Amino acid sequence: MPFIWCFKMGIQKWVPYSGNEVPTINHSKTHVQWSLLLASAILGISGLIELSLLAQAPYRLGYDEGVAFSGRQTFIVAALSAGVAFGFLALTVCKNGASGILMKVGATASVCLSVAGLAIWAIRPGNMAVHSIQSSLNMCLNNIRTTEGAKAKWAIRIGATNGTAIAWNDIAPDFPK
């Protein structure tokens, strides 16, 4: 007779399985409540940590930094929204069952934490406002201007005329540091 791994009444063990019945998994309500509460708290806290890191971003961002900034904002909204959802689920499970006051206070605090994070994100104080993101076209044009400026400095320095051959090593000292 084959055996199947089961979780019953808080004990994990191998139980005989004949193949006729469907094995059941009994999770106690307390385990579900604590799991929802823990998930809500972790998501809320991680969303707030990312929110504080987002506030430290400089106003002017390069293209890659702008993409990362947008990804962080998406993560923040997803984490805080999931924190609210899991918190409300934990509160619903607590309301329907006989849960301790610690569980209800924890679920309420977790929901409040996530809602506060979403409110801060929606207001966007300080550095979390819309950032100036340099496009790749502007970056290319700025590089061309810098190269042309270095060539002009080189030409003035050595007295070059049109048609004078130039190498990268010649203009390297004339690039801004």
Question: What does the domain layout of the chain look like in residue ranges?
Answer: 29-133, 136-174
pLDDT value at position 18?
Answer: 57
pLDDT value at position 20?
Answer: 59
pLDDT value at position 17?
Answer: 55
Q: Cα separations (Å) of 61 from 44, 71, 85, 132, 140?
A: 27, 14, 33, 6, 15
pLDDT value at position 85?
Answer: 92
Q: Quote the CA–CA distance of 101 and 111 in Å, as a whole number.
A: 15
Token pair recorded at residue 137: 């076209």
The residues, any chain, with a CB within 8 Å of residue 48's CB and separated by 6 or more, are 80, 113, 117
* Helix then strand then coil, % of the chain, to nearest 5: 65, 10, 25
Q: Quote the CA–CA distance of 96 and 104 in Å, as a whole number.
A: 11
Per-10-residue mean pLDDT for the chain, 177 residues long?
Answer: 47 53 57 84 91 80 80 90 90 71 86 91 68 73 88 86 84 79
